[in-house]
């Protein structure tokens, strides 16, 4: 299994996933050397501290500040963590492509209730080319 597959299975709760689209990432970026190339960008699965630092270096934003901002808007983020559907896409004629995604997982916690009582939860946050940020969370193993 790949690092992404084990993350999505809830087996890498101390790691984060960081995706940058080709349109956002420089061709000679060092992140291309340490990440996995996808059709439209680069995805990295890193330990939490390294991942948050890479996110800040790659985007100029703090990961948790970005997550807090994105939580205000619910959207749909692909389970592959490299694509999404911007929640304002139907309201205008702009392009709505994912620029970057940041994700982490939290372990099951029945005391908290809700999704957390059902299993490990993936929290994903995306930033769109239109400037909108949005979030999506799901229980590990839940079908899209």
129: in domain: yes
pLDDT tens for each residue of the chain, 144 residues long: 899 999 999 999 999 999 999 988 877 777 788 888 888 999 999 999 999 998 998 889 999 999 999 999 999 999 999 999 999 887 777 789 999 999 999 999 999 999 999 999 999 999 999 999 999 999 998 776
Tell me, yes or no, whether 8 lies in a domain: yes
> Is residue 144 in a domain?
no
- Is 105 inside a domain boundary? yes
Domain span at 10: 3-139
Number of folded domains that form the chain: 1
64 in a structural domain: yes
Q: What is the maximal distance between C-alpha atoms in the chain? A: 46
Tokens standing for residue 141? 């193993």
């Amino acid at each position: 299994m790949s690092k992404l597959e084990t993350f999505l299975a809830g087996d890498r709760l101390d790691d984060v996933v960081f995706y940058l689209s080709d349109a956002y990432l420089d061709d000679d970026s060092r992140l291309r050397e340490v990440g996995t190339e996808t059709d439209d960008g680069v995805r990295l699965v890193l330990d939490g501290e390294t991942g948050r630092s890479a996110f800040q270096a790659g985007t100029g934003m703090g990961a948790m500040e970005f997550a807090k901002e994105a939580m205000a808007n619910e959207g749909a983020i692909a389970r592959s963590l490299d694509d999404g559907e911007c929640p304002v896409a139907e309201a205008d004629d702009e392009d709505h492509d994912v620029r970057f995604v940041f994700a982490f997982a939290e372990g099951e916690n029945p005391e908290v209730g809700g999704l957390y009582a059902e299993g490990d939860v993936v929290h994903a946050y995306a930033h769109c080319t239109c400037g909108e940020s949005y979030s999506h969370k799901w229980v590990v193993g839940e079908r899209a």
